[in-house]
């Protein structure tokens, strides 16, 4: 259930093992392909996509990055991932492009994706034949009798509540991100994560002519209060360093995203498996959400391959624990990056000094910088079995 990156990649991986699936999605194809989301792929995630035939546009328009800048106190410091790790990098490639690639690949292979489905529901997950019911885009009621159902239906989906006695661990942050997509040539070679007294700012990009920028704002921030002029002047202030400025251009899109850490488990009940945002959310500061979702799916594809083709359910039994170990590492890293770089409302001078001390430490100690680089570029990827 769900045609986000998790549901679509799972369907693609299952097909390579000869396992049939249908992806049921309540939004239209246009909506799924236009949704603006994150954009950083860990090295292992990019490799995974290439290894399953999804590397063509990624290699053509993805932008490989060997580090990030951390900025604080008016100065900018480079964290060089390549030299801190064994040459690891990340690739800036928008999630929306990953989704387009996956939809195109599934449809070209004759895969079934039911967009614009309504009345989607799941039953009998504790039995050997769970049922997925929905009304298709033409208004015809459908019912699919399945071996398993994968709840890849995002944070607001209907599958997570079907798991009885699920444990939930949650933290909401007292700020949000105002995201801006602009037709402006990025004035930086690498992403810039900037801590400023007025709040955090992030400089990212989508192409050599499109910038993706974020500003820390209040969780209940009103978009209409942010004119393009106000956005640019706030960005200039939060990224200011001597002799450099943010290149401005027409703003194409803006939106406000809340910041939340959320982990739920177990990620399985009977024949229902959760993957991606349906089970966990990280704040975007660590750029981990998409990578975690795709990593869950590799573990799940391996487990379903063993269960459905060989009748061996050990990997399926280990699925939740295997995923949650990585999820908690990413949850800690994202929380750490978020706490180090944002200015919480009401934070006092003591807290500010701790943040600055931590930032100075990360940018001056090889051990600390290596820890950041290792987490940012990704953990050892789950290996796809074929
Ligand atoms: N029935 C069918 N589809 C549903 C339902 C439902 N009841 N509820 C939600 N969906 C769909 C959504 O419309 C969406 O297309 O499930 C899909 C979930 O996709 P995502 O939210 O993209 O989640 P996921 O595939 O896990 O990808 C995680 O998305 O939010 C980002 O940072 C996150 O990068 C990460 C990625
Ligand atoms: C993005 O490009 O959208 C992006 C990059 C890095 C982040 C979050 C978002 O940490």
- Identify which ligand lies nearest to the alpha carbon of 285: 2
Alpha helices in the chain (DSSP H): 5-16, 29-34, 43-51, 56-61, 81-84, 95-108, 228-239, 289-310, 314-341, 349-362, 366-377
> 247: which 2 tokens?
């290149």
To the query of whether residue 288 is one of the catalytic residues in this protein, the response is yes
For ligand 2, residues with CB inside 6 Å are 38-40, 191, 202, 204, 212, 284-285, 287
Residue holding tokens 């074929």? 386
How far, in Å, from the CA of 26 to the mean position of ligand 1? 10
> 375: which 2 tokens?
């987490």
How many angstroms separate the first and last alpha carbons of the chain?
23
Cβ of residue 289 lying under 6 Å from some atom of ligand 1? yes
Cβ of residue 25 lying under 6 Å from some atom of ligand 1? yes
Catalytic option among 12, 65, 196, 342: 65
pTM: 0.97
Cβ of residue 330 lying under 6 Å from some atom of ligand 1? no
Catalytic option among 134, 193, 203, 214: 193
How far, in Å, from the CA of 132 to the mean position of ligand 2? 34
How far, in Å, from the CA of 188 to the mean position of ligand 1? 31
**What number does the ligand 1 atom closest to the CA of 38 have?**
34
Pair 210, 181: CB distance under 8 Å: yes
**What number does the ligand 2 atom closest to the CA of 40 have?**
5
Burial class (CB in 10 A: 0-12, 13-18, 19+), 63: middle
Cα 79 to Cα 377: distance, rounded to the nearest angstrom: 12
> 174: which 2 tokens?
């007292």
Cα 60 to Cα 38: distance, rounded to the nearest angstrom: 19
CB atoms within 10 A of CB 211: 25
CA nearest ligand 1 atom 33, residue = 289
Cβ of residue 176 lying under 6 Å from some atom of ligand 1? no
Ligand 1, residues 1, 2, 119: which to mutate, most atoms within 8 A of Cβ? 2
Q: Are strands 201-207 and 210-217 parallel, antiparallel or unpaired?
A: antiparallel
Dihedral pair phi/psi, residue 178, rounded to 5°: -90, 115
> 78: which 2 tokens?
């480079």
CA nearest ligand 2 atom 6, residue = 287
How far, in Å, from the CA of 264 to the mean position of ligand 2? 24
Preceding amide of 11 cis, omega within 30: no
How far, in Å, from the CA of 340 to the mean position of ligand 1? 28
pLDDT of residue 38: 87
Ligand 2, residues 182, 202, 255, 290: which to mutate, most atoms within 8 A of Cβ? 202
pLDDT tens across the length of the chain (386 residues)? 999 999 999 999 999 999 999 999 999 999 999 998 889 999 999 999 999 999 999 999 999 999 999 999 999 999 999 999 999 999 999 999 999 999 999 999 999 999 999 999 999 999 999 999 999 999 999 999 999 999 999 999 999 999 999 999 999 999 999 999 999 999 999 999 999 999 999 999 999 999 999 999 999 999 999 999 999 999 999 999 999 999 999 999 999 999 999 999 999 999 999 999 999 999 999 999 999 999 999 999 999 999 999 999 999 999 999 999 999 999 999 999 999 999 999 999 999 999 999 999 999 999 999 999 999 999 876 788 87
**What number does the ligand 1 atom closest to the CA of 278 have?**
26
CA nearest ligand 2 atom 9, residue = 38
pLDDT of residue 203: 98
Cβ of residue 260 lying under 6 Å from some atom of ligand 1? no
Cβ of residue 38 lying under 6 Å from some atom of ligand 1? yes
pLDDT of residue 12: 98
**What number does the ligand 2 atom closest to the CA of 38 have?**
3
pLDDT of residue 385: 84
Cα 210 to Cα 61: distance, rounded to the nearest angstrom: 12
Report the half-sphere exposure of 230 (CA within 13 A, side-chain side). 10
């Amino acid at each position: 259930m769900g045609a986000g990156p998790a549901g679509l990649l799972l369907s693609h991986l299952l097909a390579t093992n000869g396992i049939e699936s249908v992806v049921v999605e309540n939004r239209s194809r246009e909506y799924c392909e236009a949704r603006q989301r994150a954009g950083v792929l860990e090295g292992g995630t990019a490799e995974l996509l290439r290894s399953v035939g999804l590397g063509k546009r990624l290699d053509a328009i993805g932008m490989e990055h060997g580090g990030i800048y951390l900025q604080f106190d008016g100065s900018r410091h480079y964290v060089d991932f390549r030299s801190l790790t064994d040459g690891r990098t990340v690739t800036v490639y928008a999630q929306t492009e990953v989704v387009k690639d996956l939809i195109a690949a599934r449809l070209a292979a004759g895969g079934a994706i039911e967009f614009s489905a309504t009345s989607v529901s799941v039953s009998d997950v504790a039995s050997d034949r769970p049922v997925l019911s929905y009304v298709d885009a033409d208004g015809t009621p459908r019912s699919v009798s399945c071996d398993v159902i994968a709840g890849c239906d995002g944070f607001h989906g209907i599958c997570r509540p079907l798991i009885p006695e699920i444990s939930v661990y949650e933290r909401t942050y007292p700020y949000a991100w105002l995201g801006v997509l602009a037709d402006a040539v990025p004035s930086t070679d690498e992403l810039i994560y900037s801590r400023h007294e007025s709040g955090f700012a992030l400089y990212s990009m989508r192409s050599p002519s499109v910038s993706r920028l974020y500003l820390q704002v209040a969780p209940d921030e009103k978009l209409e209060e942010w004119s393009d002029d106000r956005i640019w002047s706030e960005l200039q202030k939060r990224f200011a360093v001597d002799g450099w400025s943010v290149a401005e251009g027409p703003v194409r899109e803006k939106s406000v995203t809340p910041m939340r850490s959320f982990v739920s488990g177990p990620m399985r009940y009977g024949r229902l498996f959760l993957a991606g945002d349906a089970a966990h959310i990280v704040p975007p500061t660590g750029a981990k959400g998409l990578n975690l979702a795709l990593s869950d799916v590799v573990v799940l594809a391996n487990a379903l391959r063993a269960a459905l083709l060989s009748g061996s359910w050990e990997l399926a039994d280990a699925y939740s624990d295997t995923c949650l170990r990585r999820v908690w590492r990413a949850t800690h890293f994202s929380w750490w990056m978020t706490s180090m770089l944002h200015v919480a409302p009401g934070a006092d001078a003591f807290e500010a000094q701790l943040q600055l001390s931590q930032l100075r430490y990360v940018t001056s100690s090889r051990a600390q910088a290596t820890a950041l680089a290792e987490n940012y570029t990704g953990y050892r990827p789950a290996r796809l079995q074929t």
